[in-house]
């Protein structure tokens, strides 16, 4: 009997020490960042993968069930998830993760948004009112987001405040050192002309100094047509590009068509954690991104 009681007591202690927070991360980059900041103090669930279009996710019952148990939802915001997240939040019946509550965190609110539209018209395609939401492609953006997310973790779990502060300090030091290394490695990319499948590398371009001159999509979110690709090809005769870039989840055929006809490399970038074998965590995401871009120059 004593052994049974001792076993039960140990199980109770283990369950209590397991994790203080259940976190629902909309995209894998935020799951990875939360892991860096929260360690074993959070059970983290990533609702999507890097091989899925984050605009086009189904509000499945399994996602609703995960949100129902969450203490914190960590998402991009800026309307990236507008097609599916509001349904999940509503159907979860969890008031703690509703917009405006401490349990609802939007990463975009911590950074300076680029490409904020001066007008909103559905005829212009999939345009986001708050600006380009693909903030995870710029490594410097993770610093202000990490500070804000760490503060939110502390607000929700004050008992572990010192732990979160320590994790943030460690991440800050390591991330700043990584940025210095990445910028040195990426120096040959500055000023290089590129074309992209979709306007989802704006923050990467700003950070590394890449010059984007065209997109394969005629409008954001609209599948490329041969007619538009031919127009882009004609443009490249006047303004040659070094490579055509797409995210891992995007259809490779348009960029392969352009690569064949323009005689330039087609480069697939991970876009998020898990998009390629080399992008296993946040550091690998940018290690692999820069390595692939540099390979495209050759």
- Tell me, what's the pLDDT at 254? 97
Residue 25 to residues 88, 102, 262, Cα–Cα distance (Å): 12, 15, 39
Residue-wise pLDDT tens digits, 17-65: 567 899 999 999 999 999 999 999 999 999 999 999 999 999 999 999 9
Nearest partner of 103 among 87, 112, 92, judged by Cα: 92
Contact (Cβ atoms closer than 8 angstroms) between residue 208 and residue 222: no
Domain end among 180, 196, 220: 180
Percent residues over pLDDT 90 in the chain: 85
pLDDT value for 122: 57
120 confidence band (pLDDT: 50, 70, 90): low
**32 lies in the same domain as 163:** yes
Residue 192 lies in a domain: yes
Q: Containing domain of residue 260, as a range?
A: 186-297
CATH of the domain at 197: 3.40.50.1980
Q: Is residue 285 a part of any domain in this protein?
A: yes
* 123 pLDDT tier (thresholds 50, 70, 90): low
What pLDDT sits at residue 259?
97
Average pLDDT of the residues in 251-258: 97
Say if residue 218 is in the same domain as residue 258.
yes
Quote the pTM value: 0.90
What's the whole-number average pLDDT of the chain?
Answer: 92
**Taking 50 as the threshold, does the pLDDT of residue 222 lie above it?**
yes
Q: What pLDDT is attached to residue 125? A: 53
Is there a domain that residue 116 lies in?
no
As a whole number, mean pLDDT of residues 215-242 equals: 92
Q: Total domain count for the chain?
A: 2
């Amino acid at each position: 009997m004593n052994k049974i009681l001792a076993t039960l007591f140990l199980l109770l202690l283990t369950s209590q020490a397991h994790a203080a927070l259940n976190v629902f991360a909309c995209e894998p980059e935020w799951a990875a960042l939360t892991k860096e900041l929260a360690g074993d103090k959070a059970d983290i669930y990533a609702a999507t993968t890097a091989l899925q279009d984050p605009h086009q996710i189904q509000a499945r019952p399994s996602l609703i069930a995960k949100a129902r148990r969450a203490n914190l939802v960590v998402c991009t915001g800026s309307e990236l998830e507008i097609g599916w997240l509001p349904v999940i939040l509503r159907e979860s019946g969890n008031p703690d993760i509703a917009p405006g509550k401490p349990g609802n965190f939007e990463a975009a609110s911590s950074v300076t948004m680029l490409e904020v539209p001066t007008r909103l018209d559905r005829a212009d395609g999939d345009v986001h009112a708050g600006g380009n939401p693909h903030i995870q492609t710029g490594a410097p953006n993770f610093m202000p987001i990490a500070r804000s997310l760490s503060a939110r973790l502390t607000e929700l779990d004050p008992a572990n405040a010192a732990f979160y502060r320590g994790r943030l300090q460690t991440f800050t030091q390591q991330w700043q050192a990584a940025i210095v290394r990445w910028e040195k490695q990426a120096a040959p990319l500055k000023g290089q002309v590129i074309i992209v499948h979709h306007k989802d590398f704006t923050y990467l371009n700003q950070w590394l100094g890449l010059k984007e001159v065209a997109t394969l999509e005629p409008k954001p979110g609209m599948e490329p047509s041969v007619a538009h690709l031919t127009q882009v090809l004609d443009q490249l005769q006047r303004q040659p590009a070094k490579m055509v870039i797409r995210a891992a989840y995007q259809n490779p055929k348009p960029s392969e068509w352009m690569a064949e006809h323009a005689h330039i490399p087609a480069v697939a970038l991970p876009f998020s954690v898990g998009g390629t074998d080399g992008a296993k965590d946040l550091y690998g995401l940018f290690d692999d991104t820069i390595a692939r871009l540099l390979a495209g120059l050759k």
